[in-house]
Amino acid sequence: MKSETIVVCGGGGFIGGHLVADLRRQGYRSIRAVDIKPFDEWYQFFPEADNLQLDLQGKEACEQAVRDARIVYNLAADMGGMGFIENNRCLCMLSVLINTHLLMAAKKFGVERYFYASSACVYAADKQVSPEVVPLKESDAYPAMPEDGYGWEKLFSERMCRHFREDFGVITRVARYHNVYGPHGTWTGGREKAPAAICRKVIEAKRSGQHEIEIWGDGKQTRSFMWIDDCLKGTQAIMNSDILEPINLGSSELVTINRLVDLVESIGGVKLKRIYNLKAPKGVNGRNSDNTLIKQYLDWEPSTRLRDGLETTYRWIYDEMVKTSPTIQRSTPALVSVSEARAEAG
């Protein structure tokens, strides 16, 4: 079975690149990675894979991508952090073309299994008005009131997967990702999410000597963040499972954004003055993953401590900033020791 073709749509992106790497580690020999970006802009590039640069919003491109494939992972979307999705709602919604045309191609060519990466942004806004949020269970997506633009596209595409399964027999699996982070992710340019953005800001503050950090919102909003390796494990387990309905894939370790900053400061060995930008995009006030169902189905849930994942992410972003900025000296300590940082964190 490891010689049959697996397609990773969005293979030049953050999660897609990690998925291709993980499949290669497992010994899969026929992996097709597809992305709209030029190869030199892929987050990770593996010459051994069948790499295609295609715009998957088009029907013909989707047919080229999935022809002769047994498994398709659809991780492709035009998206980013809250700053991007709140200001590019139309672009986010156009990703519906990707999933629709991929499903049509999967039906045409008899794809065995199809995975769709949905998002916690599908959940109804009135369930997320307080930082002391009750963890969101799968049924909380209805009655529908998702994140405008991006969330509506994800919710609609979930239904499309369901109906292709019910009407045409395409075996589809759907996971609702909750804030995935880790190395090889976007950390600058406007599409980055909170963990990477905070790591970058802390490093910049240390480099400049201006010990200040801007935080979007009041810092009291709450989130959970899932380590990339947990995402990969859960994604593949859900793909190979009998779970028919969309299911949460996220950590249940809830933190405030202020606490996220605390953790990154302790990793970087610095304390910063906080400047709160109350006009910046901040999303809902509270969001967390209810993992009851995934534990019932898989006897597992994402469990990597946020502190542990942030340490690795901080180191990677620091090294990337060293590469791109001559003002950062490699001899400058990037981190306090792990033991010192953990002691400081309490």
CA 314 to chain CA centroid, Å, is 17
User: Which tokens belong to 242?
Assistant: 């009998």
**What is the Cα Rg of the chain in Å?**
20
- Residues designated catalytic: 150
Task: Return d(Cα 159, Cα 2) in angstroms, integer.
Answer: 30
Contact status, residue 16 vs residue 27, Cβ threshold 8 Å? no
- Buried/exposed code over 38-63 (b: 16+ C-beta within 10 A; e: otherwise): eeeebbbbbeebebbebebbeeebbb
Q: What are phi and psi of 8, to 5 degrees?
A: -115, 105
* DSSP count for the chain of H helices, then E strands: 12, 13
Task: Say which DSSP state 41 is in.
Answer: G
Q: What SS3 state is found at 275?
A: strand
